[in-house]
């Protein structure tokens, strides 16, 4: 037990979040047979408390309640207490979050839910204060009331648990259209665009009001919609959203990388935690925006963000860690904000220019309860060009001063006490980061990004793969845990397909095909064509959920629909194409009505309607031409390259190996005369009849 007064059953876990609670006076258990058996044997209700290491309010509730000995004594006497890291067990988090949303109308973390001894939820909520406040009961009141109800009105508790579980089962069937609806029409895509623009913030970018999330899938849809229709409004809103984010406080101007979301309209005050998946998704959309616009700032932000991830979130084994906390020294954002006096001391003679450029002022730009006066979050209020004009200086000189200033601030910051690191490695999030590395290489041609993707994929294959095609969900210190979930596999298949594109190595595609077969076998729900979140062999959940919304990360189902569609073309699998079309059409009305909740689905629907470009590159020494080709903004395409005769892939079959290499532009495997230069291919695509490859 060492110097700790208390230790509980979390002491042997690997999750940083669970380990944070290992010395609470609460007798916490991890989710598993021991705790569930104890609840059944002792006929006690189960308290499940779910959070994650970078969650600010989780820390607050721990300090106020779970570290309090009197509160812990009540919890230990009347409940079997289980702590869950939502990132380790997203399947359980999804189920019990749905339950709490059904009970209270809202959800979030920490998530506290009470279950019957057989694991069925009957009551719950999110954060509860130690004293009654804002019409919220205190945590001890909640514990007392739940215990009293369980002892005195058990039949009502059991009935409530049955009703709630039945509600979860019914809502799991969603509002899927059983009959086919014809959504594969250009007018549907226009409707999606209009629905997005109704929510667009045309002053500050993004969609909806604060708190504002990056919504990268919606931005991707707009970039692609502009490419297909030449609609300028779509492009404007997409780029405005990216520009305001990269200028705002949500982007770490000093060290690179993005925080999870902004608490205000202007993207100034983030919730300071940095998640791997957000940074991966923003890198992906910035890659597309850079391909389209060649705007140098996007390239810089991508480089800074990848540098940040390599510096602070990359394990020496090749896997990326999950998250950095919002708090350091118990204060949210402390690591990232500056007082003017502090910045001046570090910056010396250039302080005036650097501070003005990043809006670091004596008064401070962050004014909230609990935030000391005079603190500024670095942000950019005008471009270097405009700022140079204002200062009557050469832009190049200003650029150099700003760059040097950033380096000094970063060096000084690295001496501060750092935010906590969640160093578990999650398969799905790493796969998203893998896609981001491939996309960044495609857009910029920086070889290091391609190598990063290859090394990371080799790590995932080496460390997280079980026998056959099964994978684990997490890895830490050579320990793997939990069977992988649907989104882990879906993102991994997508990452393999992207690796095949940037390397020309078809073995990655073969692996994607094998995993796709495995997912269909283990996760399918035949009636709706959708996939369950958990595999057929997983027995410790009360129901197998189907996740369809594209939230902070794409849903496993939308990603599977995309991979099925693209693999169907790459491997000539009409059954997989039909599967994907069924998935999209059954969700069609929801995609049209709520596109910002179904952003990945909307991108796929758009591609199906406008058609997919099939591009093959055959010839000796194809890599320079492939790099040039990857650099182009050509969304809605599949791409294969080969320097030898291939008969097993329909896009390559029968095509000669030429020197110089040939580029083939095809539709339904029917190819036009090959060309030898990327500019000729672009001219071919831009001809009217080819620009809109409508699938009839």
Task: Assess whether 219 and 355 both reside in one domain.
Answer: no
Tell me phi and psi for residue 112, to 5 degrees. Answer: -120, 115
Q: Distance (Å, rounded) from C-alpha 585 to C-alpha 212? A: 29
C-alpha of 32 from chain center: 27
Helices (H), 79-153: 90-104, 139-152
Give the end-to-end CA distance of the chain in Å, rounded to a whole number. 69
Q: Would you state the pLDDT for residue 175? A: 57
Task: Give me the domain span that covers residue 583.
Answer: 186-334+422-610
Q: Would you state the pLDDT for residue 177? A: 58
Task: Assess whether 378 and 517 both reside in one domain.
Answer: no
From 661, 651, 579, select the one nearest 623 (Cα to Cα).
661
Q: Distance (Å, rounded) from C-alpha 408 to C-alpha 405? A: 5
Number of domains in the chain: 4
Task: Assess whether 641 and 524 both reside in one domain.
Answer: no
Q: Report the chain's mean pLDDT, rounded to a whole number.
A: 94
Q: Would you state the pLDDT for residue 696? A: 33
Task: Assess whether 204 and 297 both reside in one domain.
Answer: yes
Tell me phi and psi for residue 641, to 5 degrees. Answer: -135, 145
Q: Distance (Å, rounded) from C-alpha 215 to C-alpha 194? A: 16
Note whether 257 and 279 are within 8 A (CB): yes
Task: Assess whether 253 and 220 both reside in one domain.
Answer: yes
Q: What beta strand segments (E) does 63-109 contain?
A: 80-85
Mean pLDDT of 65-91: 97
Residue 692, pLDDT > 80, answer no
Q: Band of the pLDDT at 511, cuts 50, 70, 90?
A: very high
Note whether 124 and 100 are within 8 A (CB): yes
Residue 458 falls within a domain, yes or no? Answer: yes
Residue 314 falls within a domain, yes or no? Answer: yes
Note whether 529 and 583 are within 8 A (CB): yes
Q: Distance (Å, rounded) from C-alpha 125 to C-alpha 123? A: 7
**Residue range 25-51, pLDDT digits in tens:** 999 999 999 999 999 999 999 999 999
Q: Which of 394, 415, 436 is the last residue of a domain?
A: 415
Mean pLDDT of 114-122: 96
Task: Assess whether 16 and 141 both reside in one domain.
Answer: yes
Residue 695, pLDDT > 50, answer no
Q: What is the CATH number of the domain that holds 58?
A: 3.40.30.10
Q: Which of 371, 394, 415 is the last residue of a domain?
A: 415
| Total length of the chain | 696
Task: Assess whether 566 and 594 both reside in one domain.
Answer: yes
Residue 156 falls within a domain, yes or no? Answer: yes
Q: Distance (Å, rounded) from C-alpha 289 to C-alpha 205? A: 15
Q: Would you state the pLDDT for residue 176? A: 63
Q: Distance (Å, rounded) from C-alpha 641 to C-alpha 501? A: 7
Q: What is the CATH number of the domain that holds 265?
A: 1.50.10.10
Q: Distance (Å, rounded) from C-alpha 311 to C-alpha 305? A: 10
Residue 90, pLDDT > 70, answer yes
Mean pLDDT of 521-539: 92
Q: Distance (Å, rounded) from C-alpha 224 to C-alpha 677? A: 24
Note whether 263 and 227 are within 8 A (CB): no
Angle at 567 between CA 563 and CA 570, to 5 degrees: 145
DSSP 65: I
Q: What beta strand segments (E) does 257-314 contain?
A: 261-262, 270-271, 274-275
Bond from prior residue into 660 cis (ω within 30 degrees of 0): yes
């Amino acid at each position: 037990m060492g110097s700790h007064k208390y230790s509980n059953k979390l002491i042997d876990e690997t999750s940083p979040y669970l380990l944070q609670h290992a010395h609470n006076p609460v007798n916490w258990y991890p989710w598993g047979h021991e705790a569930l058996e104890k609840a059944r044997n002792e006929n006690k209700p189960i308290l499940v408390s779910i959070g994650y290491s970078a969650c600010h309010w989780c820390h607050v509730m721990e300090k106020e309640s779970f570290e309090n000995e009197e509160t812990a004594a009540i919890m230990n006497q009347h409940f079997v207490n289980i702590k869950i890291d939502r990132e380790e067990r997203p399947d359980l988090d999804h189920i019990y979050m749905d339950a709490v949303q059904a009970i209270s109308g809202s959800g979030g973390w920490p998530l506290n839910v009470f279950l019957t001894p057989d694991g069925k939820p009957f009551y719950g909520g999110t954060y509860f204060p130690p004293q009654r406040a804002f019409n919220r009961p205190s945590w001890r009141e909640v514990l007392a009331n739940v215990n009293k109800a369980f002892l005195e009105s058990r039949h009502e508790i059991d009935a409530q648990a049955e009703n709630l579980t039945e509600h979860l089962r019914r809502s799991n069937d969603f509002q899927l259209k059983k009959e086919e609806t014809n959504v594969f029409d250009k007018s549907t895509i226009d409707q999606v665009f209009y629905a997005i623009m109704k929510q667009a913030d045309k002053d500050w970018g993004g969609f909806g009001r604060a708190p504002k999330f990056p919504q990268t899938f919606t931005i991707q849809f707009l970039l692609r919609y502009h490419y297909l229709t030449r609609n300028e409004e779509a492009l404007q809103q997409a780029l405005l959203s990216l520009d305001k984010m990269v200028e705002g406080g949500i982007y770490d101007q000093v060290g690179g990388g993005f925080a999870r979301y902004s608490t205000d309209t202007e993207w100034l005050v983030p919730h300071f935690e940095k998640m791997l998946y957000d940074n991966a998704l923003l890198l992906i959309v910035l890659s597309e925006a850079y391909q389209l616009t060649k705007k140098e700032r996007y390239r810089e932000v991508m480089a800074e963000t990848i540098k940040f991830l390599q510096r602070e979130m990359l394990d020496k084994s090749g896997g990326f860690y999950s998250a950095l906390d919002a708090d350091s020294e118990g204060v949210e954002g402390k690591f990232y904000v500056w007082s003017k006096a502090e910045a001046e001391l570090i910056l010396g003679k250039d302080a005036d220019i650097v501070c003005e450029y990043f809006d670091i002022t004596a008064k401070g730009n962050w004014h909230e309860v609990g935030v000391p006066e005079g603190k500024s979050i670095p942000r950019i209020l005008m471009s270097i060009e405009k700022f140079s004009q204002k200062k009557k200086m050469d832009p190049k000189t200003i650029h150099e001063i700003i760059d040097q200033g950033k380096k000094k601030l970063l060096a000084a910051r690295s001496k501060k006490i750092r935010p906590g690191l969640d160093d578990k490695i999650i398969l799905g999030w790493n796969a998203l980061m893998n896609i981001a590395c491939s996309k960044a290489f495609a857009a910029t041609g920086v070889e290091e990004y391609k190598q990063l993707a290859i090394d990371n994929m080799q790590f995932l294959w080496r460390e997280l793969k079980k026998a056959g095609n099964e994978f684990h969900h997490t890895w830490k210190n050579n320990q793997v845990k939990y069977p992988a979930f649907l989104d882990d596999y879906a993102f991994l298949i997508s990452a393999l397909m992207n690796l095949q594109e940037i390397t020309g190595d078809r073995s990655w595609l073969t692996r994607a095909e094998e995993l796709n077969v495995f997912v269909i076998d283990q996760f399918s729900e035949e009636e709706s064509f959708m996939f369950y979140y958990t595999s057929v062999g997983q027995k410790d959940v009360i129901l197998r959920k189907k996740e369809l919304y594209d939230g902070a990360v794409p849903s496993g189902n939308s990603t599977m629909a995309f991979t099925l569609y693209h693999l169907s073309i790459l491997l000539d699998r009409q059954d997989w194409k039909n599967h994907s079309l069924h998935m999209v059409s059954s969700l069609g009305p929801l995609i049209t009505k709520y596109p910002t909740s179904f952003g990945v689905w909307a991108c796929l629907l758009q591609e199906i309607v406008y058609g997919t470009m099939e591009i093959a590159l055959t010839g000796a020494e194809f890599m320079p031409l492939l790099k040039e080709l990857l650099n182009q903004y050509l969304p809605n395409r599949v791409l294969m390259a080969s320097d030898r005769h291939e008969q097993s892939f329909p896009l390559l079959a029968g095509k000669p190996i030429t020197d110089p290499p040939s580029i083939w532009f095809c539709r339904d495997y029917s190819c036009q005369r090959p060309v030898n230069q990327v500019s000729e291919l672009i001219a071919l695509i831009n001809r009217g009849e080819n620009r809109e490859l409508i699938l009839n």
